[in-house]
Amino acid sequence: MASHLETELGKLRGIIIKIGGLAESQVAEAVKAVLSEPVLESKEVKKTENKIDKLDVKIDDICQSVFALQQPVASDLRFIISAMQISREIERIGDLSMSIIKLTKSIKEKHELISKFNIADIVRGAEDITAKTNECFLNMDETSVEEIFKLNTDVKSKSSDAIDNIIGEMKNNSKTVVSGTNLIIALKHFERIADHSTNIAESVFFMINAKTIKHEKFSDKN
Amino acid sequence: MHKIESNNVNFYYGENHALRDISLSMKENTVTALIGPSGCGKSTYLRLLNRMNDLIDGTKMTGSIVIDGADIYEKNTNVDNLRKNVGMVFQKPNPFPKTIFENVAYGLRVNGITDKNEIEERVVTTIEQVALWDEVKDKLKKSAFELSGGQQQRLCIARALAIKPSILLMDEPTSALDPISTSKIEELIYELKNKYTIVIVTHNMQQAGRVSDTTAFFYMGELIEYDKTKTIFTKPAIKQTEDYITGRFG
């Protein structure tokens, strides 16, 4: 006899994997939008966004039921707490991706800035973190958490440099002010996406080790 | 149509008005938990469903309880047949002082089944049904008292199921058991609801949450709230229910 609780946890795990995959595809669309590559129709992207929102609500609903009816403890408890946090992070990743897609559609003359300041490297870095985080959850692989932290630091640092350069460019060439500002916002969004993904990795670490590594450098805690 | 329908049920132990206007309907193949503080009437209500209270002198019941469309308190009700259809498991495991095999076979024989093969088949099937087979298959001829409390309780459930009831009443079936045995019985209840309609009285609210589809909260002989278990445990409509399930009274 499979335990009723195990069935519920299995269901939850399946939904998290699904919502994580959807968010990953939204981030991929956001990357393409910034790099002016062909993107899916807005209708499709919006549809995925709605799916993410619905699954987010479903995860909350299942977690609420499990808390109220099954009284999870130990690893089960950590899984439920983490599931709620992960779902929140993923939902934000979806929202940020949508914002980037909307924002970058209106940016003209962005090609020059993108190639000049190696923006592709930064946004693909954020995309990579999202994919690695999904794998980290899927395989419950705590060994990849450290790498995700490092990648996040790398994205942040590169993004910060790029933003300084874009600001410099805007000062010298007023024509780039509108596109530059939008690009800075998009970069900040990608930084947030990388942060949210890193938070998911933190939750996976907590799930496995019952140890919180929030607000700390990975190396400080290990 | 509901499997069990109670309409304006009142019950008296002499002068004591133990149940007041209870109207409660239960669907087929569901688990209903009856919760409430001691003396609230939940066990009394449970025992009305197979007329066990008839055995207590000086009691009176008004209203109606309809099972499968028939009022079980009508004069022409065959109470033996009713109790075959509505099996019961009690708080403490109460196996007969017989072998494990005989504990299940006895009820079949009493009910006129004499074919040896049929008895054997039904004993094995029901012991398997309660997930006890692997633990007892090599000691069927041993006394049921040699089993642990949890095993004895599963045997009692098998005994109740052997005579093919459609409803199973459980009166605090795990209160005398350790957590592992409790968890096995709970999982069993979850499995059994595919075939049976189950009504369980429990003092353990967490258990009500884990095993039941609907929950009825009784207080001082009244049915205060009856709803889906998830609703009762996440957003009860009545403050008394909320106070009880959150441990603020009772």
DSSP result, A113-145: HHHHTTHHHHHHHHHHHHHHHHHHHHHT-THHH
Residue A54 placed within a domain? yes
Nearest CA in chain A to B183: A3
Tell me what pLDDT residue B139 has.
95
Closest CA to B190 of B160, B211, B214: B211
Residue of A nearest to B130 (CA): A1
Selecting from B190, B229, B234 the residue whose C-beta is nearest the C-beta of A4 gives: B190
Contacts of A70 in chain B (CB under 8 A): 209-210
> Can you count the helices (H) and strands (E) in chain B?
10, 10
Q: Is A211 on the interface with B (CB under 8 A)?
A: no
Q: What are phi and psi of B50, to 5 degrees?
A: -130, 25
Give me B242's structure tokens. 């909320």
Whether A163 is covered by a domain: the verdict is: yes
Is residue A216 in a domain? Answer: no
Nearest to B187 among A1, A65, A70 (CB): A1
Residue B201, φ and ψ in degrees, nearest 5 = -95, 130
pLDDT at A220 over 70: no
Check which CATH number belongs to the domain holding A18 and give it. 1.20.58.220
Specify the CATH superfamily of domain B2-94+167-246. Answer: P-loop containing nucleotide triphosphate hydrolases (3.40.50.300)
- The reported pLDDT for the residue numbered A217 is 65
Secondary structure (DSSP) of A25-64? HHHHHHHHHHTT-----HHHHHHHHHHHHHHHHHHHHHHH
pLDDT for the residue numbered B180: 86
Whole-structure pTM value: 0.82
Q: What range does the domain containing A121 cover?
A: 4-209
Task: Give pLDDT, residue A112.
Answer: 80
Identify the closest residue of chain B to A2 by CA–CA distance.
B187
Q: Confidence band (pLDDT; 50, 70, 90) for A37?
A: confident
Question: Nearest 5 degrees, angle CA B146-CA B151-CA B153?
Answer: 110
For residue A68, what is the nearest residue in chain B, using CA coordinates?
Answer: B233
Cβ–Cβ < 8 Å for A93, A158: no
Q: A83 vs chain B: nearest CA distance in angstroms?
A: 19
Angle between helical axes of A177-209 and A4-34 (0-180°, round to 10)? 160
Q: Which residues of B touch A (CB under 8 A)?
A: 131, 183, 186-188, 190-191, 206, 209-210, 229-230, 233-234
pLDDT for position A48: 96
Any domain includes A218: no
Q: What is the domain partition of chain B in residue ranges? A: 2-94+167-246
Ranges of residues in chain B whose predicted pLDDT is under 50: none
What are the pLDDT digits (tens) for A52-79?
A: 999 999 999 999 999 999 889 999 999 9
Flag if A68 and B209 touch (Cβ within 8 Å).
yes
Whether pLDDT at A168 is above 80:
yes
Complete edge-to-edge strand list for the sheet that includes strand B167-171? B70-71, B59-67, B4-13, B16-26, B222-228, B214-219, B31-35, B197-201, B167-171, B86-89
In this structure, is residue A220 part of a structural domain?
no
pLDDT tens for A79-110 read: 999 999 999 999 999 999 999 998 887 666 66
Which of A3, A64, A68 is opposite residue B187, by nearest beta carbon? Answer: A3
Q: Give residue B111's pLDDT.
A: 86
A221 is a domain residue: no
The verdict on residue A102 lying in a domain is: yes
Q: Give one DSSP letter per residue of A192-217, joined into a string.
A: HHHHHHHHHHHHHHHHHHS---TTS-
Integer Cα distance of B171 and A106 in angstroms:
68
**Count of structural domains within chain A:** 1
What integer pLDDT is reported at residue A1 of this predicted model?
44
pLDDT band at A222; cut points 50, 70, 90: low
Query: How many residues in total does chain A contain?
Result: 222
- Whether residue A215 lies inside any domain: the answer is no
Interface check for A1 against chain B (CB to CB < 8 A): the answer is yes
State ipTM. 0.74
Contact assessment for residue B127 and residue B104, using Cβ atoms and an 8 Å cutoff: yes
**B182 CA: distance to closest CA in chain A (Å):** 13
pLDDT at A221: 52
